[in-house]
Structure 1
């Protein structure tokens, strides 16, 4: 047990240490608001897409294809906590439909890029990269479409214009462009080589540390502002209930062991900043979502360690 905890500490401590460094740098004023925005744009717009492209282009995919149990396990858990988050918002806290959707979305939307990528690559290495990036490819589009349909449907009876706007946003999302390019490269058998490979390697290597520092800077911008009751419920659903459901299903459904473990850790990630941005867009649940993002990120240091212990990582 102590040996495993020590091994897990080597995985978790550097990840959350860099997040803490970014938070302290922002809190102290050493790095200002424009640095936070610039670093986030670099990570999201260039470094992580290059990392995804490079990984998928060079990856060895399972000979038997993608295991269907992987997708069923993860998204069953995601939609259950989405529904529970909405139900809690309505029944426990008396929130309207739009705010309830925001609570549900915050409960099911994981921070994949800024926490998921660093932690899962650190824990599982290249073997975990393929299931990780394939899940990232459809995670955000599916969750965003569901949240948008639920929200728009309540307000205007279903807006095709709103869905078209969402479609354009997703079509040109840098993360998804990296996935599209990597998939095409894999299909045609192209892998970067020579000078291009060296350049891409350098960009990809910067993705993880920059993403973690960027998240630390962002947490200072999205502090725990109140509405603690909903934030605690959302955090519990995200860090405990979601991975517990996925863990149970991955033990019942067919998939390679590493894929099963990646699905559980992916589900155990804290609430993503996209939840706060969606709340801002609809002017509903802003305080609860901001508090849940910060609270779940802080507590995930401990809950992820527990899930690593359960999974036998390290």
Structure 2
């Protein structure tokens, strides 16, 4: 128990610090976005490049891990769309945003420090591989759903999807890292130090920025929908990933643990940003982000305790 608390507590205390200071006059509205922009465009790309470029290319086993994770994730994604339609009578566009809030984890900000503490550098490497597919698939698929609901033409939808992928800094960093690795290019000490500086700042700055951003969020409106999304995100998705990785793909326990922890993370602010961009129930998305972050303190603790007891049992 003490080991699990030592993994979880520092992460959420930094978020709480950002949340508390965000309620004071010390930080102005908009300051969080500056920090988030640094982490998203500099810190996380540096982290991805530094973990993947100097190592051999990911192989078939890593692809099996991704398959186990994303088969589970998209099963929950389309279940969420169905529930949004059947239970809450939401429109197609609202269904897409609801499903995105159910499945898009705060992996970049919360995932890295938790994974490093729980599973070490190998856990972070696997996390970053999974997160690359996260951005590559979830946002484009939800964009297709929302644009289709709005009557957008195929050409417009394709242009938006390709533009989102091309301008995603995680995709750019991943592509550069994979090319570097495939060509076995040298990775000198000066480059390692250059990449390591912003990479080291990604987690703490990201956590603090997440707290700042959440300090501006209020829980309001559509609470049953938000709580349903939180249940799917924090309970059903981790269970599905664990079951798929353990019983269907028979992956190593550490790998299953890495994927399950990622699935257990709260909803990321990206879901709120996406909802705001399209003007589709942003208050519901914001409530989902805040509630899932608060409740994930409990769910992550339980998940890590179960995983660690299973590994030692």
- Distance across 2 between alignment mates of 1:84 and 1:158: 26
- Comparing 116-125 with 14-23, greater Cα deviation is found at 116-125
The correspondence for 1:129, drawn from 124, 134, 148, is 124
Task: Provide the residue aligned with 1:305 in structure 2.
Answer: 301
- Distance across 1 between alignment mates of 2:48 and 2:63: 22
- Distance across 2 between alignment mates of 1:6 and 1:302: 14
- Distance across 1 between alignment mates of 2:284 and 2:186: 44
- How far residue 69 of structure 1 moved from its aligned partner, in angstroms, is 3.3
- Distance across 2 between alignment mates of 1:242 and 1:193: 40
- Distance across 2 between alignment mates of 1:187 and 1:223: 47
1:91 counterpart = 2:86: yes
Return 5+ residue gaps in structure 2 as ranges: none
Cα RMSD for the two superposed structures? 1.9
SS of the counterpart of 2:51?
helix
1:205 counterpart = 2:209: no
SS of the counterpart of 2:30?
helix
- Distance across 1 between alignment mates of 2:141 and 2:114: 27
The correspondence for 1:52, drawn from 29, 48, 52, is 48
- Identify if the C-alpha distance between structure 1 residues 159 and 282 changes in structure 2 by more than 3 Å, giving closer, same or farther: farther
The two structures have a TM-score, normalised by structure 2, of 0.92
- How far residue 6 of structure 1 moved from its aligned partner, in angstroms, is 0.3
- Distance across 2 between alignment mates of 1:81 and 1:221: 29
Write out aligned runs for 1:147-158 (5 A): 147-156=142-151, 158=153
Q: Tell me the alpha carbon deviations over residues 208-229 of structure 1, each in whole angstroms, 9 at most, x when there is no partner.
A: 1011001111112333222211
- How far residue 282 of structure 1 moved from its aligned partner, in angstroms, is 2.3
- How far residue 130 of structure 1 moved from its aligned partner, in angstroms, is 2.2
- Distance across 2 between alignment mates of 1:230 and 1:209: 31
Q: Tell me the alpha carbon deviations over residues 242-295 of structure 1, each in whole angstroms, 9 at most, x when there is no partner.
A: 000111111121333322111111111111212112212222221211100110
Return 5+ residue gaps in structure 1 as ranges: none
The correspondence for 1:144, drawn from 139, 144, 161, is 139
Matched-pair contact (CA < 8 Å) for 1:67–1:255 = no
- How far residue 148 of structure 1 moved from its aligned partner, in angstroms, is 1.6
Matched-pair contact (CA < 8 Å) for 1:106–1:275 = yes
The correspondence for 2:239, drawn from 236, 244, 248, is 244
- How far residue 36 of structure 1 moved from its aligned partner, in angstroms, is 1.1
Matched-pair contact (CA < 8 Å) for 1:231–1:292 = yes
Matched-pair contact (CA < 8 Å) for 2:65–2:251 = yes
- How far residue 145 of structure 1 moved from its aligned partner, in angstroms, is 1.9
- Identify if the C-alpha distance between structure 1 residues 191 and 226 changes in structure 2 by more than 3 Å, giving closer, same or farther: farther
- How far residue 240 of structure 1 moved from its aligned partner, in angstroms, is 0.3
**Displaced runs of 4+ in structure 1, greater than 6 A?**
none
SS of the counterpart of 2:137?
helix
- Identify if the C-alpha distance between structure 1 residues 158 and 312 changes in structure 2 by more than 3 Å, giving closer, same or farther: farther
Matched-pair contact (CA < 8 Å) for 2:49–2:177 = yes
- Distance across 2 between alignment mates of 1:261 and 1:60: 22
- How far residue 20 of structure 1 moved from its aligned partner, in angstroms, is 0.7
The correspondence for 2:281, drawn from 268, 282, 285, is 285
Write out aligned runs for 1:156-305 (5 A): 156=151, 158-252=153-247, 253-305=249-301
Matched-pair contact (CA < 8 Å) for 2:57–2:181 = no
- Distance across 2 between alignment mates of 1:102 and 1:15: 27
SS of the counterpart of 1:58?
coil
- Distance across 2 between alignment mates of 1:138 and 1:150: 18
